[in-house]
Amino acid sequence: MAIRGYGWSGVVLVVLVGCGDSGGRDSNSDSAFTTVPVTATGGAESTGGAPTTGEGQTSTGPTSLSGATTTGDPVTTGDASSGGEASSGAGPVCGDGNVDPGEDCDDGNDVETDACTSACVAAACGDGLVQEGVEPCDDGNDVETDACTSACVAAKCGDGIVQEGVEGCDDGNQVDDDACSNGCALPGCGDGIKQPAEACDDGNMIDTDACTGMCQAAICGDGFIQAMVETCDDKGESKLCDKDCSAAKCGDGLVNMAAGEVCDDGNMVDTDACLGTCVAAKCGDGKVQAGVEDCDDGNVNPNDGCSAMCKKEVAAACLNNPKWTAVTCTTTKWMWSSDKAQAITLADANTKKLLWSGCSHAPYADTCSLDGKGWVSTMEYVMAGCNATWYHLGGEYTGNCGGHDGDKVRRLALTQNDCYDY
């Protein structure tokens, strides 16, 4: 068989030869290995010739031995079991420190976190391996919205990428009062960050402090009772709440029409233009308005001493008055004061409206007077308390009353201007 030379020198060729015993062995005797140095000098092909034997001999041309080919390394040309077949050395291996064809790199180790992976591939973002000192993270995908961006940087608020399930927004800036806060949250009332559309934002949703849960400054009339400031807030005036959010009260100076007030001058005085009941003063209310009314007898009836305009009446009060009638007779006695402590003369009793006429013990009617003049009431009364308070005036007898309880009597007015309402 021909052998192609490869220009190697100093090659040792191991040749399998047969050894006989002292008397010579046949072809079935034990085999032995012989190492023969061979020098290939060129690419000439040998077509035959005797093999070179012995140590130190050099072949000057291609050599063929028992069909073996010179390879440049010691070659086993046969053994007992192989029948002369040759075996070759191992090929390239990742991790041997040599960059072989098909390898990006080979740093001779199996560390995954350096610049060259254990697969002899240059480390790169997205390979799923965190390169130490270079990448903070590497999740092996190009999804921007998870915890590790496609640039192999850990996601964080302010990077301009909205991390799904974690951030509500991310505008990549540090402006707190724009559409996305510095905490990467969408703006909302109660987040503590005042937005342009908010009057205030105190970070809570409490309606009773200075900033309501709608981020508006608390004011009277907003319907929320501001603690320590307002007593009530009915969104305006009501029966129980004034327009300044204080409890409605007559005399507080605030006219609360919902509470039935017509006026409120801030006091409880009854003699000014607004009564203590927050009703405007008027003639006939029984309260004499200072500087306005001369009198006020609680009605607006004329001819009762106080006119319908609350002026004192000086005109005749008895004429055409159904409560009085003219005296029709005279008597020498039986004129009375119904209160001897206040009046014991005709004049005093007449002025104080304590003068009476009549006696059932005498033949005189109770429509008489001492001089037959004057006016008596159309209503008849029965005397009571004679001994205690009544006093006998003028005529034949003047003194205390005695034993006249039960007598019928009438009121007596001496002139037409002395009549009064009763």
Average pLDDT value for residue range 99-105: 93
Establish if 315 belongs to a structural domain: no
pLDDT value at 74 more than 50: no
The mean predicted confidence, pLDDT, of the chain is 80
Question: What residues contact 162, with CB distance under 8 A and at least 6 apart?
Answer: 145, 168, 169, 170, 184
52 in a domain, yes or no? yes
Its domain, for residue 339, covers 324-413
Instruction: Indicate whether 14 pLDDT > 90.
Output: no
Question: Would 271 be classed as within a structural domain?
Answer: no
Q: Residues of the chain with pLDDT > 90: what percent?
A: 59
39: its two tokens: 């020098």
Structural domains counted in the chain: 2
Domain boundary among 87, 110, 131: 87
Spatial distance between the Cα atoms of 228 and 246, rounded to a whole number of angstroms? 12
State the pLDDT at residue 90. 64
Residue of 113, 88, 117 lying closest to 103 (CA atoms): 117
Cα 278–chain centre separation: 41
Helix (H) or strand (E) holding 16: strand 11-18
C-alpha 244/C-alpha 2 separation (Å) is 122
81 pLDDT more than 60: no
Half-sphere exposure of 378 (CA within 13 A, CB side): 10
Instruction: Return the pLDDT at 30.
Output: 41
Contact 139, 154 (CB under 8 A): no
351 sits in which H/E element: helix 346-351
| pLDDT tens readout for residues 274-294 | 999 999 999 999 999 999 999
**Residue 106: pLDDT above 80?**
yes
Amino acid 147 reads A
In this prediction, residue 413 carries a pLDDT of 95
What are the tens digits of pLDDT across the range 153-166? 999 999 999 999 99
189 falls within a domain = no
| pLDDT tens track for 195-245 | 888 999 999 999 999 999 999 999 999 999 999 999 999 999 999 999 999
Residue 235 lies in a domain: no
> Does residue 300 lie in a domain region?
no
What local confidence, expressed as pLDDT, does residue 175 receive?
A: 87
pLDDT digits (tens, 9 = 90+) for 294-311: 999 999 987 677 888 998
- Tokens representing 152 are 């192999």
Residue 377 in this model has a pLDDT that exceeds 70? yes
The residue among 68, 87, 106 that closes a domain is 87
Structural domain contains residue 404: yes
Residue 178: pLDDT band by 50, 70, 90 thresholds? confident
Does position 45 have pLDDT exceeding 60, yes or no? no
Check whether 85 has a pLDDT greater than 70.
Answer: no
Q: Are 75 and 13 in contact (CB under 8 A)?
A: yes
Global model pTM greater than 0.85: no
Mean pLDDT, rounded, for 24-42: 39
In a domain, 153, yes or no: no
Nearest residue to 243 (alpha-carbon basis) of 264, 227, 271: 264
Neighbouring C-alpha atoms within 13 Å toward the C-beta of 317: 22
